[in-house]
Every structure is written in structure tokens, then in C-alpha cells.
Homo-oligomer: A and B are copies of this chain.
Amino acid sequence: MNINRRNFLRNAAATTFGLAAIPEILSAAMPINQKKKKGLISGLKTGDVVLFQGDSITDAGREKTKQLSNSQGSFGGGYAFLAGAHLLNEYAAKGLLFYNRGISGNKVYQLADRWQKDCFDLKPKVISILIGVNDFWHTLDGKYDGTVERYEQDFRQLLILTKKMLPEVHLIIGEPFAVLGCSAVTEKWYPAFDGYRAAALKLADEFNAVFIPYQSIFDEAQKYAPGKYWTGDGVHPTMAGSALMAEAWLKAVK
């Protein structure tokens, strides 16, 4: 998305704020993926494991001592909790096991460092990964020297290894996103940050993963309420933003 597009959305948000209901957000933002892997969850069998992986957006304040399956405390209060709880209710008779192993601050190389313990050991049938905003964000204060090339390369290696170890696994890749005009996200992020989004999409195609276009979703959402309604700092979603992400995730896989 270029600068003009972002400005358009901000202006649109101001003029259309007040619309009654918003079923249109996801139908506008997810035109392609709707049919991609419908039935992914309903096709799972008793005891199958679904794993959420990522950074603080996935972590969402979960406890990291017990790290139980299907547990509120171990799931935190983000999109993973909302999506997992929804499916545990809807598919109760399946006895599925949902785990959250997102860790705040993680970049893609840090997922790789803990992938044996926090992925392979759990023997997941579905892995949902949302990673990348820190791979860019942490370069801004000079404390991390990663590049978009390193992000793409590390992510690809992680996915190659994953497919090697778990040939039948279903992959879900979330688009890294940022909402301009909120406290942490400035014009300084662009166009560099857009490269990380493009890399995630490219990898989703390469590995036949379901792609959740969170950036398009948050862009559309701003037609109905301001950016801060969906994410306080432009990176971490609010209750509303988490629910929007969970709705999109569910729409892509159910």
C-alpha cells in the first residue's frame, strides 16, 4: 500500500465513521483466500494439535510456565485465544488440542531457535505463524541489524525444515501489519515495512500456506472506526482488533 492509499483510508475513515455494521471488512479484504483451504479445521481428527506461533500479538500475555493446551491462562488474551476458544466450542466432539507458543518481541530467527521444543515436540497438524513486525521495528532504534532479505531467508529455511519434519502439516501464515497514525507507527516505516509483508505473501505462495491478509483487513477496518480503535500503538491490536483478526483467521480455515 502506498502513501496515497493510506491517506485515502484515513480520510475515508473520517467520512464514513458511523456506518451501521461491517460485514464488508473481510469480504473486501479477503477476496482470494476465502476458498483456499475451507474445511481445514473440520477435516482434523480427535486429538489433533493446532499450534499458534509468533510474537507479542500472538503471545498476548499468556503464562509461560505450564503452557497448557486449551487453557485460558496459557493462551493470553489475543486473536489466538479468541479463535481457539471459538473452535473448541464449535468442534467440541473432536477433542482438538490448541497450543499458543507466541513470545513477545520475537523475530523470525528466534522462532527458529526454539522450533524443536515449541513446534516439532508438539507434533502439530496445523501451524499458524504471524511473525515479522519486530524484524523491521527493532531495526529502527539501531538495536537489531536485520534486513528484509534476512527475514525472508530465515523464514524460508524455517518453513523448509518444517515441511521436512512434518510433511503433512497445514501451514497458515499471517501478514505482518502496521497501522499508520497510531503511536508507534510513523511515515518512517514506509516503504521499508511493505517489503516484509510482500515476503510473507511470497512465502505463503511458495509453501502452499493459507495467507491471512491482516494489513488489508486493518486497512479496510479503518473505513468503519479509526486506527486507534483497532490497535493502540499501530502494532498491538485492541479487543476489537483481536476479534477482527480471529474472525479473519476463522474465515480462512473453517
A78 in contact with B89 given A225-B95, A239-B84 (CB within 8 Å): no
Chain B residues, CB < 8 A from A61:
72-73
A249 interface residue per 8 A CB criterion: no
A150 interface residue per 8 A CB criterion: no
CB distance from A250 to the nearest CB of B (A): 11
A204 interface residue per 8 A CB criterion: no
Q: Tell me, in angstroms, the Cα distance from A93 to B61 when the chains sit together.
A: 27
A60 in contact with B85 given A93-B19, A93-B22 (CB within 8 Å): no
Q: Tell me, in angstroms, the Cα distance from A240 to B229 when the chains sit together.
A: 27
CB atoms of B77 and A75 under 8 A apart: yes
This chain's copy number in the assembly: 2
CB distance from A55 to the nearest CB of B (A): 16
CB distance from A107 to the nearest CB of B (A): 23
Q: What are 13 A-B pairs with beta-carbon distances under 8 A?
A: A20-B42, A21-B91, A22-B92, A61-B73, A72-B242, A73-B77, A75-B77, A81-B239, A85-B246, A88-B239, A92-B230, A93-B224, A95-B225
Interface residues of A (CB under 8 A from B): 17-22, 42, 46, 60-61, 70-73, 75-78, 81-82, 84-86, 88-93, 95, 98, 221, 224-225, 229-230, 238-244, 246-247
> Could you list 5 further interchain pairs (A-B, Cβ under 8 angstroms) beyond the known A88-B238, A89-B241?
A73-B77, A81-B239, A85-B240, A89-B244, A92-B240
